[in-house]
Amino acid sequence: MTDPLTELQQRRERAMQGGGEARVKQQHRHGKLTARERLALLLDEGTFQELGLLVTHRIHDFDMDRKRFAGDGVVTGYGKIKGRRVAVYAQDFTVLGGSFAEMHANKIVQVQKLALENGIPLIGLLDSGGARIQEGVRGLAGYGKMFTQNVLASGVIPQLSVMMGPCAGGSVYSPALTDFVIMVNDTSFMFLTGPEVIRTVTGEDVSFQDLGGAATHNAVSGVAHFAADNEQEALALVQRLLTYLPQNNLETPQRMPVGDPPERREVALNTLVPADENTPYNIKDVIRLVFDPGSFLEVQAAYAANAVVGFARLDGYTVGVVANQPNYLAGVLDIDSSDKIAGFIRFCDAFNIPVLTFVDTPGFMPGVHQEHGGVIRHGAKIIFAYSEATVPKISIVLRKAMGGAYIAMSSKEMRSDFAFAWPTAQIAVMGVDGAVQILYHRQLAQAENREEAERAFAEEYRKKFYNPYVVASIGLIDEVIEPQETRIKLVRALEVLRSKVQQNPSKKHGLVPL
């Protein structure tokens, strides 16, 4: 009879080997780490506490008795990242391709519940061939349980998914229900139906990466929020992202000052907006100069680049930054940028992160494609998100703020706390050329020199509407500020808003346009 302690040790050791040496080597050959190697990189040393190490499947058909591995293809438990508690799961591709099955699901659901009930972030490292075919509907039911937990935890704890290998079929919906999806370039992909099925059904020929690789989901579909060059970078990104977030929706993010003076003036901002109103500039230069150095972490950087969203710090406090990007499509709002902006605001609101909005947009994108694609419904999401959000909200109009886009982009009518404008702001129903043709069409028809008349009327329109002062005179802009004072003004505003309490009418839930 084996001594009990020796037996425990042997069982543990066997379980730690995953799918065995050959499979581990194969995993490494594919440029991928094992589940345990990943967790070792992600978590503070010595903090990982595993759960369910000895769990195995209970299928006997399909020769599955010979394919019984302790852990059932997923490593689950809890640990710490930079001293903060987190719950984690890491799928083990070396065991039956990390395929998702009944017991595998139960283990994940256990840490999901642990995370939710204790108010700690949940991090999933995914690497799976999807539903384990041998288990039939048991695996599918497991997915159902996992998705439900994702939904229950939504808005209560931050949920992060890191795609570190294949993610096919049902495996894509859990990440899609979480707050942030990080993909590893070249080695990860996500799709509902793979290239083979697509070829059969639609005749389209597409590679795994073109269909669902990191570049595709970051730039085209918007399913992913970040792309990392390798697994180490992806895990470091998780660690960094968490520093901006609270543990749960009842807490605020930790303050992390870096010694950047709150009263720092930035003279370069005074000349950053070009004198010619049609010359673009890079909004990220503004962000870089205003916030604590190096603190901006852009989210969905490659998707809908006409809008910029991300986390930054101001005097050490986490803020959510939303901005139009004049450098790309003149910062116009369209379907994709609306989704991007609205989703980010709602995340910030759920997790007590103030939203600061930099406005420079000519409005919503005209066009049949946009209208037929539902730009009305998508644009409405921005209005919904800003109006609903009860966190501190501050807007700064840098240049153009036209029509519906002015109202939508955190105007005071969206319950924003403060609205600032730079002297270069142009806040109006529409641009000069269009407005002149409509407002003065009679005078222009009779004018001896039409061009001269157009110039004169344009000047009049600019004076009457196309500036920040008219709006400031009716209180819709609280203060026209010198650009160099932007940081100071924001720091002071956030300080007074730190104790903001605002409540929405009691309801089961709102009906955000989807």
Largest CA distance in the chain: 111
Q: What would the two tokens of residue 354 be?
A: 């103030």
Separation between Cα atoms, residue 253 and residue 294, nearest integer Å: 18
Is residue 330 annotated as part of the catalytic site, yes or no? no
Q: Which position among 405, 408, 435, 493 bears the catalytic label?
A: 405
Query: Does position 169 bind ligand HXC by CB under 6 A?
Result: yes
CB 334 within 8 A of CB 307: no
Residue 374 annotated among the catalytic residues of the structure:
no
Query: Nearer to ligand HXC by C-beta: 121 or 139?
Result: 139
Residue at token pair 């419904």: 377
Q: Is 405 in the active site?
A: yes
Q: Kindly state whether residue 133 participates in binding ligand HXC, applying the rule CB under 6 A.
A: yes
Name the one range near ligand HXC by CB under 6 A: 9-17, 69-77, 91-99, 502-510.
Answer: 91-99
Centroid of chain to Cα 138: 32
Confirm or reject binding of residue 166 to ligand HXC (CB under 6 A): yes
* Residues 222-261: x where in contact with ligand HXC by CB under 6 A, - otherwise, as a string: ----------------------------------------
Selected binder of ligand HXC within 168, 287, 307, 312 (CB under 6 A): 168
Q: Looking at the DSSP assignment, which residues form a beta bridge with residue 183?
A: 163, 227
Please select the residue that binds ligand HXC; options are 16, 64, 70, 140, rule is CB under 6 A: 140
Indicate the residue among 74 and 342 with the shorter CB distance to ligand HXC: 74
- Look up 79 and say whether it is catalytic: no
- Interatomic CA distance for residues 363 and 360, integer angstroms: 9
Sequence-ordered list of residues with C-beta below 8 angstroms from that of 202, at least 6 positions apart, any chain: none
Nearer to ligand HXC, 132 or 378 (CB): 132
**Residue 408 binds to ligand HXC (criterion: CB under 6 A):** no
- Cα dihedral sign, 455-458-463-468: negative
Q: Which of residues 93-132 bind ligand HXC (CB under 6 A)?
A: 96-97, 99, 129-132
Closest CA to 123 of 214, 20, 240: 240
Provide the Cα torsion 409, 415, 418, 424; round to 10°: 30
Compare residues 97 and 158 and give the one whose CB is closer to ligand HXC: 97
Which residues in the 287-326 window bind ligand HXC by CB under 6 A?
Answer: none
Nearer to ligand HXC by C-beta: 143 or 384?
143
Q: How many residues bind ligand HXC (CB under 6 A)?
A: 15
Catalytic residue among 73, 98, 129, 169: 169
**Which regions of 14-145 does DSSP assign to beta strands (E)?**
49-51, 74-81, 84-91, 122-128
Residue 344: left (phi > 0), alpha (psi -120 to 50), or beta? Answer: alpha
Catalytically annotated residues: 169-170, 404-405
Binding site for ligand HXC (CB under 6 A): 96-97, 99, 129-133, 140, 143, 166, 168-171
